[in-house]
Amino acid sequence: MNNSPLLEDLRLFCVVARHSNFAESAREVGASPAYISKRIALLEQALGVRLFHRTTRSVVMTEDGGNVHEWARKILDDVEQMMETVSSAKRVPRGLLKISTSFGLGRKVVSPLLSRFASEHPELKIQLELVDRQIDLVNEGIDLDIRVGAGHEPHLFSKRILPSQRVLCASPAYLKKHGAPADLAALRQHQCLVIRERNQSFGIWRMMGPKGQETVKVSGGLASNHGEIIHQWAVDGHGIILRSIWDVADSLKRGRLVRVLPQYFQEADLCAVYPLQLKNSAKVRECVRFLQKHLDVTASSATV
């Protein structure tokens, strides 16, 4: 039994397997690369197999390492589920909660709410990852992803936490100079500020309107992968944007932006997405419940 691998070493092994790099793994867990290397070596000694081929720049998992990785993830998931079941019975969320979301949503909506949530749950350690790409929750060790849209991954559970829409907006100055589009097709003749976020199609706007769903291909002289930049460019008079109502509500109220073609919208519900094995997790459940409750308040104040 003394040679049995420790759970913490298995966790470190899974982190290294995800990053394929000791330095990046060390940064994630707050340790030195030398410590990570030592623990992996001790794990290899305990198991009697080589887990990684090491080079100066990266580590590559061996075939034995791949087999161990499958078992390690199952063991760690089972231990996590056991702890969650016990803590759920006590209704006390505890442990590490890793949350991901997009940059704009994270900075403007999620992070202020998590600050309050953390104050109410001191037993939790919360890590917020901001990424503007489609994320693999299981392989990247994420417990909860806050995203626009539910997603369709069969191994994930999705819960809508806020009904929302994207709307078309432009500044009064832009509309005074260029006029307002008469219909959706007229957007092709306008400067549209295009954004690429996560898995959105670039320059393809699918809208719901009086005739059901319609699609228009738009373009313009400015584009970015950051929503706040696009928002500011619209305020500066550079074109028409398609943004979530919670993002532009303040600019609409202040008159910096006005609605364009208000009969059209794009469904953009905010959803909490997490692995199926965490469906009964106390920490995930309480966080989702908190976000849903307080996002309802945020949404009511953002109605325009």
Q: Per-residue pLDDT for the chain (304 aa), expressed as one digit of tens each?
A: 455 568 889 988 988 988 888 888 888 888 888 998 899 999 998 899 999 988 777 788 899 988 898 888 888 877 877 776 665 555 677 889 999 998 888 988 999 999 999 999 998 999 999 988 788 888 888 999 999 876 667 778 888 999 899 999 999 999 999 999 999 999 999 999 998 766 666 789 999 999 888 999 999 999 998 889 999 999 999 999 999 998 999 999 999 999 999 999 999 899 999 988 887 788 999 999 999 999 865 544 444 4
What are the structure tokens assigned to 105, written together? Answer: 């949503």
User: Are 99 and 142 contacting, i.e. CB atoms less than 8 angstroms apart?
Assistant: yes
Domain 165-267 CATH class label: alpha beta
Q: How far apart are CA 227 and CA 101, in angstroms?
A: 13
What are the structure tokens assigned to 98, written together? Answer: 């890793």
- Burial (CB count <10 Å: 0-12, 13-18, 19+), residue 80: middle
Length of the chain: 304
- Decide yes or no: CATH 3.40.1190.20 for domain 91-163+269-301: no
What pLDDT shows up at residue 286? 92
Question: Which residue, 152, 164, 146, 62, is CA-closest to 105?
Answer: 146
User: Are 145 and 273 contacting, i.e. CB atoms less than 8 angstroms apart?
Assistant: yes
Q: How far apart are CA 149 and CA 200, in angstroms?
A: 11
Beta bridge partners of 224: 195
Question: Which residue, 240, 138, 135, 263, is CA-closest to 191?
Answer: 240
User: Are 173 and 250 contacting, i.e. CB atoms less than 8 angstroms apart?
Assistant: no
What pLDDT shows up at residue 300? 44
Angle between helical axes of 282-301 and 111-120 (0-180°, round to 10):
130
Q: How far apart are CA 211 and CA 147, in angstroms?
A: 28
Cβ neighbours of residue 284 under 8 Å, at least 6 residues apart? Answer: 97, 143, 144, 274, 278
Would the pTM count as exceeding 0.85? no
Beta bridge partners of 192: 240
What are the structure tokens assigned to 135, written together? Answer: 């994320």
Q: Where are the domains of the chain?
A: 7-85, 91-163+269-301, 165-267
What pLDDT shows up at residue 272? 93
- Any idea which fold 7-85 has? Arc Repressor Mutant, subunit A (1.10.10)
> Are the folds of 91-163+269-301 and 165-267 the same?
yes
Q: How far apart are CA 135 and CA 21, in angstroms?
A: 19
What pLDDT shows up at residue 85? 66
What pLDDT shows up at residue 301? 46
